[in-house]
Amino acid sequence: MIDTLWFGHTVGKRAEPDFFALRQADGSFLLKSNAQLPQGMYALITKRSSGANLQHTPCWLADGQRKFAVKADYTQLFNTIAFTGSAENETLYAYLRGYQELTDRLDVVTDNWKEALDQPTFEAKKAVEQALQQFQSDFMRSHHGTLTSKLVEQTFFLLP
């Protein structure tokens, strides 16, 4: 069980903690900052092991947002995280989970195509690429104006 939760930023794939909270007797953490934090992408950071091996998961701080609650099994942070009081983060994780499912499928069909180098596996790869692009387009349309839709627009998967 983790005993410290940090709030911070990421630089590339490296976590940069800004401040932290210790686990309370009931198992919860209360992260507080006296600073006015600007809107943007932050990270919830935990230690993966006794060394300096940190894991992190993204988190939006929306303009004017002062508090929200996070519930998760911190050993499986990405798969179990749920937010209360933060529609932006609920939107972010709905997107990230759908995106991950499609990119995992794309990895599999790409590997199959590299092995077989035939038309059926190429068509399967193309179908998943189109599904990924459609997922992103639909997401931007249905969540227009959110921080996540702006992120998706910047990282849009272009078909080759």
- Out of 85, 104, 125, a domain closes at 85
10 and 56 inside one domain: yes
Per-residue confidence at 106, pLDDT binned at 50, 70, 90? very high
Question: Does residue 160 form part of some domain?
Answer: no
Q: Is 56 exposed, middle or buried (0-12, 13-18, 19+ CB in 10 A)?
A: buried
Measured between its terminal Cα atoms, the distance across the chain in Å is: 44
Mean predicted lDDT score pLDDT of the chain: 91
16 and 63 inside one domain: yes
47 and 118 inside one domain: no
108 and 69 inside one domain: no
Q: What angle do CA 112, 129, 94 make, to 5 degrees?
A: 110
Per-residue confidence at 60, pLDDT binned at 50, 70, 90? very high
- Out of 85, 113, 138, a domain closes at 85
For the entire predicted model, the pTM comes to 0.86
81 and 93 inside one domain: no
Would you state the structure tokens that stand for residue 31, as one six-digit string? Answer: 């992260």
For residue 64, the model assigns a pLDDT of 81
Higher pLDDT, 108 or 62: 108
Count of domains in the chain?
2
Task: Name the 3-class secondary structure at 104.
Answer: helix
18 and 73 inside one domain: yes
11 and 48 inside one domain: yes
111 and 142 inside one domain: yes
Q: Are 18 and 34 in contact (CB under 8 A)?
A: no
Q: Count other Cβ atoms within 10 Å, centred on residue 133.
A: 15
Tell me the helix, strand and coil percentages in the chain, rounded to 5. Answer: 45, 25, 30
Residue 49 has pLDDT above 90, yes or no: no
Residue 74 has pLDDT above 70, yes or no: yes
Task: Name the 3-class secondary structure at 86.
Answer: coil
Question: Does residue 159 form part of some domain?
Answer: no
98 and 146 inside one domain: yes
Q: What is the pLDDT of residues 121-154, one digit of tens each?
A: 999 999 999 999 999 999 999 999 999 999 999 9
- Out of 38, 54, 85, a domain closes at 85
Give CA–CA dist 66/80, Å, rounded: 23
List the domain range (segments joined by +) for residue 128. 89-154
